């Protein structure tokens, strides 16, 4: 996301790291501690601050935080500035990293910085050349693929390296794709994912792209987008099928209650860790889940974040049918191609008969959930969870 890239990119000025590369995260690199006989000189330190700007491979946020902290400790000593507010989560992550170094002597910090940069340079040399940010495609430009064949329009989430996490652009693109699919001459519409995951839910870096209006404006516009996005699923006029090709998280799970059919590989899991993230249910799940599985099972999922296997999700009514992973694609597409040959108008009208009685209620639920989330996104609990994910401390 341009937001995180820009924001974190700017953090590493003062020589800590000012590479123009986009920020991505890589596994943590070990920080080598030095012995007293191996102190780095001031010259070594200055060289390292220059070398870090030439890294070909982005070292990731966690390493950048280490570089930042060591640089500050080496040049200014122990952390001596007030702790930023919890909403200022990027600066808070930096402050935490610096403060964690405690009373580490300046010269040890200097040496550790030099040592860390040396290890990064070594791994960078063996890496593939990264395309400069300016030459890259904009995020979201190829993150959604829409195809139409055999009476089926298929919308494929296509960010497999990010487990198909949904960027802000993707929410907009999916809405446009649904609008077009609702009007095209296909009989059925399918949503699926490319790669080993179906979707890892909302891209958590969406939270870092703060507009000039600040976090309140971000929360307000996020709630509007969420509401519009879910409305598109509520109002979709044709049979809508989810082909769940792997694990599903967050909003990609909750909106399944608005699909007409959900086919899942037996490798899929269904996870709504809202409490862990300081958030609350969306996608009308606060209404559809208790209705389909009873309030207690819905609470296990939506409040306690219980992850369901595909078979459990099928038993609870969230999934229509589970297929062995080895034959999943073949079996599902044969089935869907057969369904797509049924008279499209009859299918459309039957869907409306089944769904229309609920529509008003669903829109009201969606509006309420979006409003509540708008508040949640401003909470310390949510901010801390996002910081934790971005600094790679947390994985669900």
Ligand X SMILES: CCCCC/C=C/CC(=O)SCCNC(=O)CCNC(=O)[C@H](O)C(C)(C)COP(=O)(O)OP(=O)(O)OC[C@H]1O[C@@H](n2cnc3c(N)ncnc32)[C@H](O)[C@@H]1OP(=O)(O)O
Cα–Cα dist 315/130, whole Å:
46
Tokens of 68: 């930042």
Q: What is the number of alpha carbons within 13 Å of residue 157 lying toward its C-beta?
A: 34
Cα–Cα dist 217/223, whole Å:
10
Cα–Cα dist 169/332, whole Å:
29
Q: Would you give the binding string for ligand X spanning residues 105-144, x where CB under 6 A is met?
A: ----------------------------------------
What size, in residues, is the chain?
A: 396
**Burial label, 239 (beta-carbon count in 10 A; 0-12, 13-18, 19+):** buried
Tokens of 146: 């829409």
Q: Which is it for strands 261-265 and 240-244: parallel, antiparallel or unpaired? A: parallel
The nearest distance, CB 92 to ligand X, in angstroms, is 19
Sheet with 248-249: strands ordered across: 248-249, 269-271, 308-309
Judged by beta carbon, residue 7 or residue 111, the one nearer ligand X is 7
Contact call for residue 388 and ligand X (CB under 6 A) = no
Cα–Cα dist 60/57, whole Å:
9
Pick the binder of ligand X from 69, 204, 258, 302 (CB under 6 A).
204
Contact call for residue 395 and ligand X (CB under 6 A) = yes
Contact call for residue 267 and ligand X (CB under 6 A) = no
Phi/psi class of residue 308: alpha, beta or left (left: φ > 0; alpha: ψ in -120 to 50)? beta
Q: Would you give the binding string for ligand X spanning residues 18-37, x where CB under 6 A is met?
A: ------xx------------
Judged by beta carbon, residue 107 or residue 228, the one nearer ligand X is 228
The nearest distance, CB 204 to ligand X, in angstroms, is 4
**HEC string of 364-382?**
HHHHHHHHHHHHHCCCHHH
The residues in 159-188 that bind ligand X, with binding defined as CB under 6 A, are: 162-163, 165, 171
Contact call for residue 205 and ligand X (CB under 6 A) = yes
Pick the binder of ligand X from 44, 62, 282, 369 (CB under 6 A).
282
The residues in 34-53 that bind ligand X, with binding defined as CB under 6 A, are: none
Judged by beta carbon, residue 43 or residue 395, the one nearer ligand X is 395
Judged by beta carbon, residue 208 or residue 316, the one nearer ligand X is 208
Contact call for residue 277 and ligand X (CB under 6 A) = yes
Q: Which is it for strands 152-157 and 188-193: parallel, antiparallel or unpaired? A: parallel
Pick the binder of ligand X from 188, 251, 301, 336 (CB under 6 A).
251
Judged by beta carbon, residue 45 or residue 198, the one nearer ligand X is 198
Q: How many residues bind ligand X (CB under 6 A)?
A: 23
Cβ–Cβ under 8 Å, residues 174 and 192? no
Closest residue to ligand X, judged by C-beta, is 250
Tokens of 257: 């209650």
Judged by beta carbon, residue 236 or residue 377, the one nearer ligand X is 377
Cα angle: 114, vertex 119, 123; to 5 degrees? 145
Return the range that interacts with ligand X (CB under 6 A); candidates 70-78, 145-153, 197-205, 209-217. Answer: 197-205
Please report, as ranges, the residues that interact with ligand X according to CB under 6 A: 24-25, 162-163, 165, 171, 200-205, 222, 225-226, 249-251, 277, 279, 282, 395-396
């Amino acid at each position: 996301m341009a937001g995180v890239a820009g924001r974190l990119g700017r953090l590493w000025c003062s020589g800590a790291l000012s590479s123009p590369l986009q920020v991505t995260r890589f596994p943590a690199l070990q920080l080598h501690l030095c012995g007293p006989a191996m102190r780095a000189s001031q010259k070594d330190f200055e060289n390292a601050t220059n070398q870090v700007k030439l890294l070909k491979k982005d070292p990731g946020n966690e390493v950048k935080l280490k570089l930042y902290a060591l640089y500050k400790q080496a040049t200014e000593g122990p952390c001596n500035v007030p702790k930023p507010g919890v909403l200022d989560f990027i600066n808070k992550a930096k402050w935490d990293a610096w403060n964690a170094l405690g009373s580490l002597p300046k010269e040890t910090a200097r040496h550790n910085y030099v040592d860390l940069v040396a290890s990064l340079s070594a791994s960078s040399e063996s890496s593939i050349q990264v395309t400069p940010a300016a030459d890259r495609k904009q995020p979201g430009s190829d993150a959604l693929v829409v195809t139409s064949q055999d009476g089926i329009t298929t919308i494929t989430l296509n960010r497999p390296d990010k487990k198909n996490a949904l960027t802000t652009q993707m929410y907009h693109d999916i809405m446009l794709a649904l609008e077009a699919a609702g009007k095209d001459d296909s009989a059925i519409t399918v949503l699926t994912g490319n790669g080993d995951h179906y979707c890892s839910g909302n891209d958590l870096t969406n939270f870092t792209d703060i507009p000039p209006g600040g976090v309140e404006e971000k929360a307000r516009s996020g709630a509007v987008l969420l509401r519009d996005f879910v409305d598109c699923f509520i109002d979709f006029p044709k049979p809508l099928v989810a082909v769940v090709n792997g694990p599903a998280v967050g909003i990609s799970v909750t909106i399944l209650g608005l699909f007409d059919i959900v086919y899942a590989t037996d490798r899929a899991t269904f996870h709504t860790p809202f409490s862990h993230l300081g958030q609350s249910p969306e996608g009308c799940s606060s209404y559809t889940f208790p209705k389909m599985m009873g309030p207690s099972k819905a609470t296990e999922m939506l409040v306690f974040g219980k992850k369901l296997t595909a078979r459990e999700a099928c038993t609870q009514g969230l999934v229509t049918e589970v297929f062995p992973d080895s034959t999943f694609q073949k079996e599902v597409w044969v089935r869907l191609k057969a369904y797509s040959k049924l008279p499209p108008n009859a299918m459309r009208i039957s869907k409306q008969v089944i769904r229309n009685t609920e529509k008003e209620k669903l829109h009201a639920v969606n509006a309420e959930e979006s409003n509540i989330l708008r508040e949640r996104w401003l909470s310390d609990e949510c901010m801390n969870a996002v910081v934790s994910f971005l600094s790679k401390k947390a994985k669900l």
